[in-house]
Structure 1
Amino acid sequence: MHNNLRILHLEDEPSDALLVSHALKQVGFKFDCLVVDSKEKFLEALDDFDPDLILADHSLPSFNSFEALELLGSRENKIPVILVTATMSDEFAVNAIKRGAKDYVLKDRLGRLPSAIKNVLETQQLEKEREGFLFQLQQNERKFRRLIENGADAVAILSPDGTPSYVTPSLKKVLGYSEKEALELNIYEIIHENQRECVQEKFLECVANPQTTFDGYSLRARHKNGSWRWLEVTLTSFIEDSAIEGIVADFRDVTDRKLADKALKESNIRYELVSKATSDAIYEWDVTSNVLVWGEAFHSMFGYSQEEFSSTIEAYLEKIHPDEKNQIIKSLNSGIEGKENRRIAEYRLKKADGKYASVIEKGTILRDENGKALRMVGAIQDVSEKEKLEELLDETYRFARIGSFEIVCEKNSLYWSPVTKEIHEVDMDYNPTLEEGILFYKEGKSRDAMSNAYSKALTENLPYDLELQVVTAKGNVHWVRKIGRPTFVDGKCVQINGSFQDITKIKNSELEALKASEEKEIILESIGDAFFMVDTDWKVTYWNRHSEKLLECTKEEILGKNLWDVYPDAIGTKFYTSYQKAVRERSIEDFVEYFERADKWFEVTAYPSKNGLSVYFKDVTERKQSDLQIIGLNKNLKAHTEELVEANKGLEQFSFIVSHNLRSPVANILGLVELIGDKDYQEEEKNSFLKALFDNVKRLDTVISDLNAILQVKVEMDAKKETVVLEHLVDTIKSSIQNLIDKEKVHVTTHFDIPAIDTVQSYLHSIFYNLITNSIKYRRQGVPPRIEIRSEIKEGTVIITFEDNGLGIDLIKKEEQVFGLYKRFHHHIEGKGMGLFLVKTQVELLGGKISVESEVNKGTKFTITFKEKTLNNISDYEKTTLHVG
């Protein structure tokens, strides 16, 4: 099948390795096998033996298959791994495959191992062929890159948000950016702001239509030198293609072509565009031929059809009001014969219905090189409605008492409109200076504010909008609103314009409203219920003193803030859903609900309005006392449920471990019995099978003994509790192992702030004994063991710590295995890996928890915590005794 296959077998049980070897020989496998049982031998074999395949049991005393897979993952040569183990849960199998195992075979089903090896090796061969194909593909890809990177067009791969993942070097020819600079850009940063939204929409359309080409799309992009360049772009989405994962954009510079097209188009359609784009009546008069052409707006503006209005200048002049006709003809002739090219005139023009419209005409005269008039182009604007509106606006401003002002900075002059003069109660012929204008503002806050705002407008180009008091020329005090906008030219303020409004009546109304609001607040503060209000954005606008008391939140802490930002714990509760419903459905909501933060029951009524929500509530906790008791019972039930869940998890773990350690020797015994009965084997081989059979019987007996010891621990939980003095307990344990302490020069120190505990004495003795002997067993070579034991109480919790200076544990890799059954971390030291498992079991049966801190060659610290139950004084010791468990 596979000649000279080199198999590295990670296994610590010789009989298991023997059965695996036999299963392969039965089907004709030709192989060399090397069995190793430690990390050191495994690493050495990887280099020296150079295996084609690795078979691995999962759990060895100081090494496991997951650690082996992690070591293999860092090696360039990928060696396939098949797990051969006694038991395997679905969750464990999935985890193993994720970590790199190619397959797994159970030890009691070794008949499947040959086919598993064949499949894994064939799959590996296919992967090697695939890698060769990918290498060739990469070579072809490099050739393709050279072609596109040296073309005239630029190519980029972009994400939908405009981030480039690849650009060709030719981008520098098009937009001036190097590859590095381009990859640090976002495409939307260099696209003209008027086109960004359109480009984003085009990208989304492209993504929605994969592998569809969108071409002929033009946009403007900023060149590195700051100029704007027109690009013609072709887009194709390959988002779903794993080799590209982006939008491929091919673009070229078409700026010169674009500018030429634009100039030609503007030349041909200028007149048509202007005619349609404006409401003014556009005209063009050929002075030489006397042909007068009107834009479309002329006919709609004045009511004439094209047929009834002759295209001559004389026909137009006949429509001008008789009182103004001669003057307009005179000014027109003067313009044609003179040298001025600009023309502005105001007059009345007769409409088709016989009425006259007030118009403003603005024109430009075009001349030849000798100054002779050739054409005149311009526009006529109907200002009849504008004049009416201006008259109406003046009346409106006068009614609203809104005037205007203007400051000309160079002349240092101030202009007031008539309404502004009325507000100041001065004569209409009064012309104030800047200094006089400032003095009208009431001395103090108003005058200072106006002076400061004027200074900032003049020097910093800052507009202002102020409410101030002025003292009029007649001594009356008025409230005014003054709005000013500065105009800057070449960095210098040339003028300030704005409005000036009398708001005395508005201010008086505000003061009356404020007074009414204060009266309302007195009423709301005096009612017996708590009350608050929020606006449509859930910002708190009112919060009375009862709300402060019941919800333990002051006005200063909540006014102006979002209700749900202050009370995020209310989101999802009935308070939140009921308030939301009241606002959404415009309904009054009544309910009774418990608020955990305040530890109170509230009876609530919420009233919606167009401005937000008003909420009344009161404390009904006493009425709901019986319900609170039910809540307490529910909390206790939840705690007990969590304890049961945790206990069930421990039981599942225990069951899995015991199953693994029972199943493996039983499977081996069955296999070995079958081999002993096989007549094809020699007596010497059968003797080796018989020895392996006895070894597995001993393994099975050990597991059963361990199981009995663990079950005995759980049975003893009903033992009577008694007072255990910790110092005496440690002395007793030290006496029982005095020879070991003397031999290894062990130094044990104690510091018991809590000297005695009421608990199950046998459990606590076992816990202390195992932790002390564990520290001695895993000491550092040549370093006398030091063990420090402490007890203290923190926040109602009894804490007992055991700290040593021993070998320590690599918790980064072993933390989850520390308290596991049959877990050992130093294979050179004898042991079964039961001590810490029993410690954890006994601690949890007493209602406590145990945790570990450790660092290799720096020691280990175990921390046991018990919840305090009662506190008594012991007369014999005059110290504190804690009842735990």
Structure 2
Amino acid sequence: MLIDQIEDYAIFMLDPNGYIQSWNKGAENIKGYTADEIIGQHISVFYTEKDRRENMPGKILSEALRNNIYKTEGWRVKKDGSVFWAHVVLTTVYDDHGRLAGFAKVTRDITELKKSEDQKILINAELERLVKINTDEIISKERRFRKLIENSYDGISLLDRNLQVFYRSRSAERINGWNDVERAVQPYESLVHPDDLPQVVATLNDVLEHPNKPMLSTYRTQHKKGHYIWIECLLNNRLDDPDIGAVVCNFKDVTDRVVAEEQLREKNKQIENILDSITDGFITLDKNFNYTYANRRLGEMLGLDSQWLIGRNVWETFPDVVGSSTYKAFYKAMETGQYVWNEDYYAPLNFWEESHIYPTPQGLSVFIRDITERKLAEASLLQSESNLRSVFENSEHAIILFDIQGIVVSFNHNASELAALHFHKELKAGLSAFYYSSPERKDDVLKMIESLKEKSSITYEVSYPLPHNQTVWYEVRWVSVLNNEKQPSGIILTLKNITEKKMADLERDRMTADLIQRNKDLEQFTYIISHNLRAPVANIMGLADIMQLNGVDGDSENGQALDALTESVGNLDKVIIDLNNILQVNNAANETLEMVSLPRLVDEVKTAIADLVVKNRAKISCDFSGISEMMSLKGYMYSIFQNLIVNSIKYKRAGADPLIGISTRLDGSKACICFKDNGRGIDLLRYGRHLFGLYKRFDVSVEGKGMGLFMVKMQVERLGGKIKVKSNLDEGTEFILEFPLKPVQG
């Protein structure tokens, strides 16, 4: 009743979220609302639109919550839309259980007091008015006032209608370093920081348009030394006052204050950014377990807006937690003042959390980590261990686990059987590896165990004799096991039976050696034939020539036989020559690899077949942008290029000059060379299978032996490459050669 009868103060209660719960007569007198109209509404109705956009009501409630009491002054809005200057005191109110019940708010209308204080600001301007009075009566007073102004810590400047300075106090030079003469020639636009100039221009225009209305502006201006300082300037248009006739500017250097405020904002922003960017949830609680801060990560973990939690009680917001391990840990940290670690499961969200709880003078700071995945992984690991044990026992390998000193820790059934079979000893945990080693092998085993401290693994093959002159082979692998500090902590020994593989390898080596020897024998046989037949064939050819010279009649029976013999011997000679050429190609594979320039190679081929190129008016274009040189056998490459270019010219299409395009490209680890022409083309459906065969010719209209493509394919394959062909009749042919970038020498 006492509060209700107070008429000069608005006294009312707010709930924790700022909604009005009570209303006295003083509130009705000051703000204009009746109790029925206002109870239940949010206090934001009393704030200006600008303050609401800046969430001033929420900030004031947060400050009151943080400090238990908060005082402030500012413009407030009445029911009729008018504003008044209010002095406001907010006090937090808690119930008997220590929970936040709301806020008590006391508001007083001090508009007249505000006007009185604002009037004081104009005193300096009034003092400047005395400068214009020239009568002897006030000279002494003018001197007194001038001394007051000149010795004022704040600077005072008077500006005319064109915003030119015609008077500056002594402090003005102290503040910005410019003396009166230097300042007089400086337009204000040149001194104001470019980023602040639009604001200053707008403020000055407002000052000129609104006489007698003080306006405050804070901006940067250039000091005489070249740096910028922050000044706070109070401007008042008194141009129409006959006693002043100027725009009065009271200003002071607020650089330290602005820098300190900026640093504080940056520091707070950095702290907020750090807390919002960490992977853990973070909250602060007051001593009543009410949220005073919650970072973004916590909101993500709980699936809500973290700001919604501010001011709310933990146990009321999450009643399922009451009595839990987390509940007890929070109270323990609050009561003992000591750090507490806790793990807990929150069933409503199927969520495992790890809490690090730190007591603070204000309450608690808590880091909350989501460990759900880890818990699921631990559960999965238990199952995995069971599965691994099953694999361990059912593996085809014999497996023994040793500690770093070579003591048996564990083993599977296969290992136990091998120990009994080859060492005639029972495998037991706790025994040393040396117990199962023969005397001559103990030094080797010791060296391997020592080596595993430096190496990750050692692999070798070993054999053991069996009855009936049989042998069993094993692949033995020693592997070092590292702990979390990357230090050796154990050894795994596996033995894999590779007897079948070993026997197959030995048989393969025997067959390979046999094939190599047979190939050498065939090459030797071919060499003997190609060389030893040359002499008898040459003799027969010589005898045939002599008989023809001695007058054997070509029309006679003997003459015809002689001609047939001469032709057969000539063909045999060509076969022997071709066989020699093939042998020379095989022998050329032993040449030294060198870097072959493809453009230069084409030039050499073109020079060698210049007559053929000119005669057929052939045009050869090259694009070696993909690769212009490669490591290879130059003799092979020259032969390949020459055969393919000559074939394209020889088998040109009737009525069309030969056009040959040679290009390269890289395809992964392969170099591709393409030869494309506009010639007759090849019927691949009909002749594709025999295209690269020896003495295979499919167009007899042009002279040839069927050796060229056979030689090209053989040389490409000797270089480790492949050859492909694309062709259509009367549309040309494209040969695609693929070589490994690291060539293979055949």
TM-score for the superposition, normalised by structure 2: 0.30
TM-score for the superposition, normalised by structure 1: 0.26
Structure with the larger RCO, 1 or 2 (CA within 8 Å, 6+ apart): 1
